[in-house]
Structure 1
Amino acid sequence: MVSPVWTTIDFHKCGVQSDYARVPYSSDTSAYGWIPVPMICFNGGDGPTALLTAGTHGDEYEGQIALRRIARALCQTEVKGRIIILPELNRPAVIAGRRNSPLDGGNLNRLFPGSAVSGPTAMIAEYVTEVLFPLADYVLDLHSGGSSLDYMQVAYAHRGHTPEQDHRIGDLLDCFAAPNSILTDGRGGGGATTLYAAAVAHGVAALTTELGGGQGLSQAGVRLAEDGVRRVLHHFGIVPDLVAPASGPTRKLKILPPETAIYAPADGLFEPLVEVGAPARAGQAAGYLHLLSQPLADPIELRFKADGIVIYRRYPTLTTLGDALYGLAAESER
């Protein structure tokens, strides 16, 4: 089935083109309208193709800003391969400043490989899967903790389906050089329904990031995203003359199982005691949950269930039963 999403960009034409991925959307005010998803294509001829995305969740801003900086730099630099940039991939969510689309409630990073006959969010996923993945050799989907999580700086990748793909993914992680890198088996966090997992299923070398988080903007996260993308474009010969800082060491981690995470046992006010990136010990006090409407009640003491490293922590204080409060990682030999 041909994707209903379309663009005027000719991905095989050399030069710089800027347009939209036009996502059909019939609304009360526009029966035959479309949603504009900004897209830029830099094509310098022979060479690998990098697909760069941000705004998969609308409240995650570090990647959105970094890709704008990269796009402006590419306008002044010779490109040998091809680069396709979508800095506002879930544009309705970006405009609303929300994780999910206000149009259909869709979480784009839980809808891959997508659908051509569902809502606009699934259509975006289908277009990326069916049209853009076949063009790409490398995929980088830039995320951060957004408004609900404070997140350690980390790059994630799924393991490849062949030794050759596995090697390319490892090379991509080392080149991006986040302070921490994780090869995941896909448990939790969306599994196979995420953009980077779907890219790997299509034979592409792909990674995603967490660049910090919380309300506002992490300048350190923006720098990591821009520096990492620059290193990737330079290293793989897509933009050989692009200025890129040298890579530093990356610590290999593994995510601990979901049952080691701490979730809110009731509605309340979350008082954390341990910072992101800090070590945690089983039984150690992690924080308190102060119960709403019960000002004389003792707070619920929260304790870690395993040894590890705090990889994320809930940012908002107001908390609902079931909210994720802490997640743990541990050092890995791989």
Structure 2
Amino acid sequence: MLKKFRPYLFMLLFSCTTIAQSSYYFENKEIKPGTKEHFLIPVSTENNATLIPITVFNGIKNGKTLGITAGVHGYELSPIMAAQKLITSIDPAKLSGVVILVQIANLESFLGRSPYVSPVDGKNLGRTFPGSKDGTNTEKIADYITQNIIAKADYFLDMHSGDAPEDLIQYGAYYSNAAMPEISKTGREMAIALGFDRVVVFNTDGKKYMHKNELSLYCTAEAFKRGIPSIDIECGRLGIMEESAVKKNEQSVIRLLEHLNFLSLKSQKNKTKEPLIISDRIYTESKFDGIFYPEKKAGEYVKKGMKLGCVTNYFGEVLQTVYAEDDGLLMLIISTPAINKGESLTVIGKI
């Protein structure tokens, strides 16, 4: 009788050994299968100190590792608050693999309500990767994320939204390079799985930051350079916390987890229609310090030569009239008055 069931016993034992998850260790702390742990990582220099809040989910089954960052820009509130929701909406008892979620990468920017840069050292974390272990506060944060999250990931996601002055459309994005076709293809599939109506291609062919000895600058660019399929979310606008954007961010991460088989596919909800792909973007910069008066909103389709706004001096005299440089979708437009020379006023996506 035992002989009769031997093949089935072997199959059962083989199945168990292939799906059983082991403990995961982060910061020398054991995270048992089917559980999660919270960490407050100290980062300090001679002049200041901060923390990085991180949640690590260890699934009940063996699998890959997904790294996620939120709050690289601390005034981009929708993804930060979505990360708070993901603490409970990602159930490690139903998870395969490991998810490392950086809740707020730039805590000083968040607490200081500081758009773009940290109030501690004036640096933009989103332009600082891979960072430096001997650098400033922001450079040390970038180094920690590079060495302890990106370097451990099989897939990577960076969550953003429109910062304080930015009226911005919602989209997913992925990094692409002709020399990395399979990694680029996986990134494209991940970006589409997020469920946004638009997907932007970050084409890195010929980009200086892709060279081995150059700084990556961007968080996801650092991951992509390391051969990791890398995507971004942009969901939210003007540095405000809109519940609809928070929910969309949260749902997009869950969809990604289902797509990558970290979670089982729940229902028909995860079926996605083919999004609009945006491969080229046109940036228009301000030529002056002054006051910007926008005449359009993000999400509008514009025609070449259409007036988008103007920059004046502090006495109302027009210094620069901004026109659409081509037909396309207005992805971003600055919607608060202050403007500095060299800042992007508009971004048009070519369809």
TM-score of the two chains, using structure 2 as the length reference: 0.82
1:233 counterpart (257, 276, 285): 257
Q: CA separation in 2, counterparts of 1:140 and 1:156?
A: 10
Distance verdict in 2 for CA 1:82–1:115, change over 3 Å:
same
Partner of 1:174: 192
In structure 1, runs of 5+ residues without a counterpart are 1-6, 29-33
Partner of 1:184: 202
Listed one character per residue, the Cα deviations across residues 215-273 of structure 1 (whole Å, up to 9, x for unaligned) are 422333222211110011122221227789434332101232xxx43222333332211
Shift of 1:77: 4.9
Listed one character per residue, the Cα deviations across residues 272-322 of structure 1 (whole Å, up to 9, x for unaligned) are 1122121222211111233313x4x45743212222211100021132333
Partner of 1:41: 56
Q: Aligned pair 1:55/2:79, yes or no?
A: no
Partner of 1:262: 284
Q: CA separation in 2, counterparts of 1:156 and 1:148?
A: 21
Q: Aligned pair 1:157/2:174, yes or no?
A: yes
Listed one character per residue, the Cα deviations across residues 124-162 of structure 1 (whole Å, up to 9, x for unaligned) are 111222222232111111001110211111122111553
State the AA in 1 paired with 2:245.
G
Partner of 1:195: 219
Distance verdict in 2 for CA 1:299–1:143, change over 3 Å:
same
Residue 94 of structure 2 aligns to a residue in which SS?
coil
Q: CA separation in 2, counterparts of 1:9 and 1:245?
A: 38
State the AA in 2 paired with 1:62.
S
Shift of 1:95: 1.1
Q: Aligned pair 1:253/2:278, yes or no?
A: yes
> 4+ runs of 1 displaced by more than 4 Å?
241-244
Q: CA separation in 2, counterparts of 1:48 and 1:232?
A: 13
Residue 85 of structure 2 aligns to a residue in which SS?
helix
Distance verdict in 2 for CA 1:247–1:153, change over 3 Å:
farther
Structure number with bigger Rg: 2
Q: CA separation in 2, counterparts of 1:49 and 1:236?
A: 10
State the AA in 1 paired with 2:168.
Y
Preserved CA contact (<8 Å) 1:227 1:244:
no
Q: Aligned pair 1:204/2:204, yes or no?
A: no
Listed one character per residue, the Cα deviations across residues 55-112 of structure 1 (whole Å, up to 9, x for unaligned) are 0001101111111111112247522211111110111111111121111112111111
Over the matched positions of the two proteins, sequence identity in percent amounts to 22
Q: Aligned pair 1:327/2:347, yes or no?
A: yes
* 1:4-153 matched pairs, under 5 angstroms: 8=27, 10=29, 13-14=32-33, 15-27=35-47, 34-44=49-59, 45-75=61-91, 77-98=93-114, 99-153=116-170
Shift of 1:11: 6.7
Residue 62 of structure 2 aligns to a residue in which SS?
coil
Partner of 1:318: 338
Preserved CA contact (<8 Å) 2:259 2:265:
no
Distance verdict in 2 for CA 1:82–1:11, change over 3 Å:
farther
Preserved CA contact (<8 Å) 1:48 1:237:
no
Q: CA separation in 2, counterparts of 1:147 and 1:243?
A: 36
State the AA in 2 paired with 1:255.
D
Q: RMSD across aligned C-alpha pairs, in angstroms? A: 2.5
Aligned residues: 315
State the AA in 1 paired with 2:262.
I
Preserved CA contact (<8 Å) 1:283 1:304:
yes
TM-score of the two chains, using structure 1 as the length reference: 0.86
